[in-house]
Amino acid sequence: MANKIIFATGNQNKMREIREIYQDLDYEILSMKEAGIELDIVEDGTTFEENALIKAKAVAQCCDAVVLADDSGLEIDYLNKEPGVYSARYMGEDTSYEIKNANLIQRLEGVPKEQRTARFVCAVAAVFPDGTNKVVRGTIEGYIGYEPQGEHGFGYDPIFYVDAYGCSTASLEPEEKNRISHRGNALRMMKDELKKHENISCK
């Protein structure tokens, strides 16, 4: 029987992405729900890394599998890295991304392209059954466009443009975005660590 990874998320897109990236590892990958774990976790860290580790540690207390958790967001350099760890909560959790994106574009009014640099950041934390942990950070660099563009993705994708493609990440097919995304990069970075634990985790 394969080792188990529990990914501390309820997001099906993230589950699809992690399963694709780790398909060659000898792990069965379960969401929290699939593992029967229900928790309300307060993410009160001040960095992506802290929040990811808070989530992973909370879930690890409920099981003896490898637990992974992520925390992500958008950093805009001109706005002192806002919205950062508050990306989901920016302007209120219930405010639509149409409004949040329009607001960020407005705050950058008149700012030239060179100063509109931004990145998506994703920290992925792993807590292993032996009590050790590891946190990695993946990023994708880009800039905030002058108008929203594209129908794919979610959140800030319509305003986040990548130079290599000359379009927003909302204009990329999901597979293409996953190939270059902050979360994909962080999950790929964690792969070696998971391989090291493949044979010593609880079965």
Interface residues with ligand IMP (CB under 6 A)? 70-74, 87-88, 120, 153-157, 181
Q: Which two tokens stand for residue 149?
A: 């563009």
Closest approach of ligand IMP to the CB of residue 60, in Å: 18
Nearest residue to ligand IMP, scored by beta-carbon proximity: 155
Nearest of 145, 140, 155, 153 to residue 83 by alpha carbon = 155
Distance (Å, rounded) from C-alpha 201 to C-alpha 130? 8
Distance (Å, rounded) from C-alpha 69 to C-alpha 57? 9
* Cβ–Cβ < 8 Å for 60, 26: no
Q: Specify the residue, 11 or 115, whose C-beta has the smaller distance to ligand IMP.
A: 11
Active site residues: 71
Q: Specify the residue, 37 or 201, whose C-beta has the smaller distance to ligand IMP.
A: 37
Q: Specify the residue, 55 or 134, whose C-beta has the smaller distance to ligand IMP.
A: 55
Q: Cα–Cα–Cα angle for 174, 152, 190, nearest 5°?
A: 40
Q: How many CB atoms lie within 10 A of CB 129?
A: 17
Distance (Å, rounded) from C-alpha 110 to C-alpha 73? 24
Q: Specify the residue, 3 or 181, whose C-beta has the smaller distance to ligand IMP.
A: 181
Closest approach of ligand IMP to the CB of residue 182, in Å: 7
Closest approach of ligand IMP to the CB of residue 196, in Å: 25
Distance (Å, rounded) from C-alpha 159 to C-alpha 106? 11
Closest approach of ligand IMP to the CB of residue 170, in Å: 8
